Structure 1
Amino acid sequence: MNTATTLKCISPIDGSVYAEREVLSISDAQQRIQAVRKAQTLWSTKPLRERIALVRAGVERLGQMNDEIVPELARMMGRPIRYGGEFGGVSERANYMADIATEALAPMVVEASEAFERRILREPHGLVLVIAPWNYPYMTAINTVAPALIAGNAVVLKHSTQTLLVGERMVQAFLEAGLPADLFINIFCDHDTMEQLIAQRQFDFINFTGSVGGGQAIERAAAGTFTGLGLELGGKDPGYVMEDANLDAAVDTLIDGAMFNSGQCCCGIERIYVHASLYDAFVEKAVQLVSTYKLGNPLNEATTLGPMANKRFATEVRAQIQEAIADGATALIDPALFPEDDGGAYLAPQILTNVDHRMRVMRDESFGPVVGIMKVENDAEAIELMNDCEFGLTASLWTADAERAAAIGAQLQTGTVFMNRADYLDPALCWTGCKNTGRGGALSVIGFHNLTRPKSYHFKRII
């Protein structure tokens, strides 16, 4: 049983305790949730245009904090400050959902005649719990926070201990922008308390982004409560470079997708399949690109690759690399190029060839700055390899032929198919996955539908 009374964020920069917060007792958490439910009742009666305006204002206020947020994130999870944080994505996603809200939540009128009025309305679930991860703590949270509030829900936010201060920041911004008190709160809980709250059906919908094990724990806690769940879990996203691909664009995008944020991206590229005719050139250019990276302190403007968020994550990636090499893989990046690799959270990037699917690095989620590259002879071989995976979040196809990409995409077990791009979340499209990546869908019109429930009205007029 988890008996911790405090949560500690250990900075990957130097291993120091960067932030610490006391956890709530089960009774204190229950009291806070009661206040949130009361606030939600009034919030749901406010006109949609007012809810939209307040959410937009909250996002704008969050953006005004960006100069403080960016170095704070670097200290908590290691992303270099040169990349400017997450506000661009937060704003794009939240404002898109605000833009489509009126249409997405509009009544579906089946009949409006002299005899009958038949329609379907969308009602908020009530209280939405958002459990957000550390790798993109603001963007992943806003995917649910913004549309949930717009739709008339209240939101309880729980962030990873690795990004302990993010929830406080988000709630502060929305409160300062005028959101009613108690409608959107951040809580600090240990796992046992959270599982008890879920089992007690304290929440009407839960959105979790994190590990497969975490998703399974939430499903077990919610068993029998009929609480709606949205689960975005693991990924092992592939890229496939066909013989007619733009080679330079494919290298730049796929390698950036593999290495950005030290490889800690939900839809990052973790394995690449290249047609035999382009294989050697692709590998050569990829090695040249990765060799230019600068590993170091994320607070340094020159740093392009910071530490992983926690040394235990780096330990797992090192293990996958070492196992692959022992099984015959070839490591192409010279460790001497990255003297900052300290055996702890700072991990040098790596490209592996002579890999196959017997190796964990091509099968298990790595979530670090490593990618394996395999040669393929045709589409059929590439499709078989891309589907040979327990996860299904995105796949990146590189070709000049959109019809070919669509035909391949139809055979892939994945949530999103990209052509000539990767590692991007389009708020107009449903963000979803299959297999062990989870279930449900965020953003787009479908995101609003998942954060509301339908209610049918069947009125008969008696004349």
Structure 2
Amino acid sequence: MKTIKCISPIDGSVVVERPALSADAAAQTVARGKAAQKAWAARPLSERIALVMKGVENVGAMNDDIVPELARQMGRPVRYGGEFGGFNERAQHMAQIAEQALAPMVLEDSAAFKRYIAREAHGLVLVIAPWNYPFMTAINTVAPALIAGNSVMLKHASQTLLVGERLAQAFHAAGIPEDVFQNVVLDHDTTSDLIAARSFGFVNFTGSVGGGKAIERAAAGTFTGVGLELGGKDPGYVMEDADLDAAVDTLIDAAMFNSGQCCCGIERIYVVESLFDAFVEKAVKIVNGYKLGDPMNPETTLGPMAQARFADNVRAQTSEAVAAGATPLIDPALFPQDGGAYLMPQILVNVTHDMRVMREESFGPVVGIMPVKDDAEALALMNDSDYGLTASLWTADVARAEALGAQIETGTVFLNRADYLDPGLCWTGCKDTGRGGGLSIIGYHNLTRPKSYHLRKQQ
């Protein structure tokens, strides 16, 4: 029997170990989910909403246990209090817009005809969730999928195995049937085999580009709907009229928070030449004040990365950049805990797009900062990327930001903010960041399919 382990980045200990479902057991789980879905979809929308939101409330009641549990699993410091604020905000918004988003589009209801487009649940939805924000990323799809009348199988990352169990505990206690929401432990091969067997009406995956390609290969020829949020290399651009202090505070926090392991974290910054030196000076001062260490310690502001190999990848990108002429500005002596999964933060200047650290996803606490002459140069550099999730613009001129935003190859344009997911807007990306869209009304449309009714009334 194959087992899946969560190894703590704190000390390398095994946090939890669970057996992976066999092929037969996984197929039975799929069958139960499909069998339970029709009755769930037949319940009134208001009832489904109430049960999901009770489940969300139950998660909130567990937060005191969840916060240290998350620290042990993936290393986020306990001082930040977990994810329930964003988790609840997203679920609440999707509950509030559900009636409008799922309402039929009525074209005609006359004496002769009734014509409308309804939204119908896909059936069984597979959600493959990542470890970096394991509750918030999961709820993005789980809540609207259930509310829309789908049944859900949740496969969580091995690094956060206990998150799926927490969600199952919370939703089942709320009254959602066990076969309607199932937490599963699957290996990659079994997951691919299930997708290839057309087990699901829709698959949502958040993770690496390689993982997204594997999902697409498995789904090829099945015509299964797939939503993919993959890698990112999100840029920030600071213009001459920006609020410099706000720009530095926000962009550096967006680059370093959660040890840089944020889907829409800032990985490269372009600053107009006149503000470059001041920006860099302020950025270095902020990062020099961080405290790297045990995430269970309330004093810690920067915990370990989720795995040592992730930290090693960032170290390799950084050392290659320095060897090619980049200048590191953070003194390693300030971070003696550096080693293994514990990775000191770093700011690099004198960087170019010939360096991997400015092109490939880092997903760690390192950021390169480059001066630019004007909007045209900044735009060319921002678009010089295989990814497109978010871009953060800093200026007092909204029209200028909108004009630039129209030319940036990205899923979301931020003005004077960064690293935030607004559940009222579609969460989406382009290029190697993936396809599809979550949250907002569009999220509901992706989790349902249209069905047209053309009804001629008897005369």
Aligned length: 459
CA deviation after TM superposition for structure 1 residue 236, in Å: 0.1
CA deviation after TM superposition for structure 1 residue 88, in Å: 0.4
- Listed as ranges, the matches of 1:402-421 within 5 Å are 402-421=398-417
Instruction: Write the letter of the residue equivalent to 1:61.
Output: N
Q: Which residue of the other structure, out of 348, 372, 384, is the alignment partner of 1:376? A: 372
Q: Which residue of the other structure, out of 314, 321, 324, is the alignment partner of 1:324? A: 321
Residue in 2 that maps onto 1:102 = 99
**For 2:42, what is the secondary structure of its paired residue?**
coil
- Listed as ranges, the matches of 1:88-167 within 5 Å are 88-167=85-164
Residue in 2 that maps onto 1:353 = 349
Quote the Cα distance in structure 1 between the aligned partners of 2:25 and 2:457: 50
Which runs of at least 4 in structure 1 moved beyond 3 Å after TM superposition?
none
Quote the Cα distance in structure 2 between the aligned partners of 1:207 and 1:396: 26
Q: Which residue of the other structure, out of 366, 378, 398, is the alignment partner of 2:362? A: 366
Q: Which residue of the other structure, out of 52, 57, 63, is the alignment partner of 2:54? A: 57
Quote the Cα distance in structure 1 between the aligned partners of 2:282 and 2:379: 24
Unaligned runs of 5+ in 1: none
Instruction: Write the letter of the residue equivalent to 2:236.
Output: G
Residues 193-240 of structure 1, C-alpha deviations (whole Å, 9 max, x = no match) = 111111101111000000000000010011100000000000000000
Residue in 1 that maps onto 2:231 = 234
Quote the Cα distance in structure 2 between the aligned partners of 1:191 and 1:265: 23
- Listed as ranges, the matches of 1:215-226 within 5 Å are 215-226=212-223
Quote the Cα distance in structure 2 between the aligned partners of 1:309 and 1:227: 31
Residue in 1 that maps onto 2:389 = 393
Aligned sequence identity (%): 73
CA deviation after TM superposition for structure 1 residue 446, in Å: 0.2
CA deviation after TM superposition for structure 1 residue 41, in Å: 1.1
Q: TM-score, normalised by structure 2?
A: 1.00
Instruction: Write the letter of the residue equivalent to 1:387.
Output: N
CA deviation after TM superposition for structure 1 residue 437, in Å: 0.2
Instruction: Write the letter of the residue equivalent to 1:417.
Output: V
Checking the alignment, whether the CA contact within 8 Å between 1:40 and 1:154 is kept in structure 2 is: yes
Quote the Cα distance in structure 2 between the aligned partners of 1:148 and 1:8: 28
Quote the Cα distance in structure 2 between the aligned partners of 1:460 and 1:6: 57
Instruction: Write the letter of the residue equivalent to 2:95.
Output: A
Quote the Cα distance in structure 1 between the aligned partners of 2:236 and 2:144: 31
Quote the Cα distance in structure 2 between the aligned partners of 1:282 and 1:58: 44
Checking the alignment, whether the CA contact within 8 Å between 1:74 and 1:299 is kept in structure 2 is: yes
Quote the Cα distance in structure 2 between the aligned partners of 1:407 and 1:273: 17
Residue 49 of structure 2 corresponds to residue 78 of structure 1: no
Quote the Cα distance in structure 2 between the aligned partners of 1:90 and 1:37: 27
CA deviation after TM superposition for structure 1 residue 114, in Å: 1.0
Quote the Cα distance in structure 2 between the aligned partners of 1:400 and 1:407: 13
Residues 368-390 of structure 1, C-alpha deviations (whole Å, 9 max, x = no match) = 00000000010000000000000
Q: Which residue of the other structure, out of 7, 12, 17, is the alignment partner of 1:10? A: 7
Checking the alignment, whether the CA contact within 8 Å between 1:39 and 1:181 is kept in structure 2 is: no
- Listed as ranges, the matches of 1:184-333 within 5 Å are 184-333=181-330
Residues 330-387 of structure 1, C-alpha deviations (whole Å, 9 max, x = no match) = 0000010011112x00000000000000000000000000000000010000000000
Quote the Cα distance in structure 2 between the aligned partners of 1:160 and 1:168: 12
**For 1:35, what is the secondary structure of its paired residue?**
helix
Q: Which residue of the other structure, out of 424, 428, 445, is the alignment partner of 2:441? A: 445
Instruction: Write the letter of the residue equivalent to 1:231.
Output: L
Residue in 2 that maps onto 1:47 = 44
Checking the alignment, whether the CA contact within 8 Å between 1:246 and 1:399 is kept in structure 2 is: yes
Residues 417-440 of structure 1, C-alpha deviations (whole Å, 9 max, x = no match) = 000000000000000000000000
**For 2:309, what is the secondary structure of its paired residue?**
helix
Residue in 1 that maps onto 2:35 = 38
Q: Which residue of the other structure, out of 404, 412, 423, is the alignment partner of 1:427? A: 423
Residues 291-345 of structure 1, C-alpha deviations (whole Å, 9 max, x = no match) = 0000000000000000000000000000000000000000000010011112x00
Instruction: Write the letter of the residue equivalent to 1:459.
Output: L
Instruction: Write the letter of the residue equivalent to 1:159.
Output: H
Instruction: Write the letter of the residue equivalent to 1:295.
Output: L
CA deviation after TM superposition for structure 1 residue 462, in Å: 3.0
Instruction: Write the letter of the residue equivalent to 1:34.
Output: A
Quote the Cα distance in structure 2 between the aligned partners of 1:38 and 1:19: 31
Quote the Cα distance in structure 1 between the aligned partners of 2:356 and 2:46: 50
CA deviation after TM superposition for structure 1 residue 181, in Å: 2.2
Instruction: Write the letter of the residue equivalent to 1:111.
Output: E
**For 1:44, what is the secondary structure of its paired residue?**
helix
Instruction: Write the letter of the residue equivalent to 1:204.
Output: G
Quote the Cα distance in structure 1 between the aligned partners of 2:306 and 2:265: 16
CA deviation after TM superposition for structure 1 residue 275, in Å: 0.3
Q: TM-score, normalised by structure 1?
A: 0.99
Quote the Cα distance in structure 2 between the aligned partners of 1:9 and 1:242: 43
Instruction: Write the letter of the residue equivalent to 1:190.
Output: D
Instruction: Write the letter of the residue equivalent to 2:425.
Output: L
Residue 180 of structure 2 corresponds to residue 183 of structure 1: yes
CA RMSD of aligned residues (A): 0.6
CA deviation after TM superposition for structure 1 residue 116, in Å: 1.0
Residue in 1 that maps onto 2:454 = 458
Quote the Cα distance in structure 2 between the aligned partners of 1:180 and 1:346: 41
CA deviation after TM superposition for structure 1 residue 261, in Å: 0.1
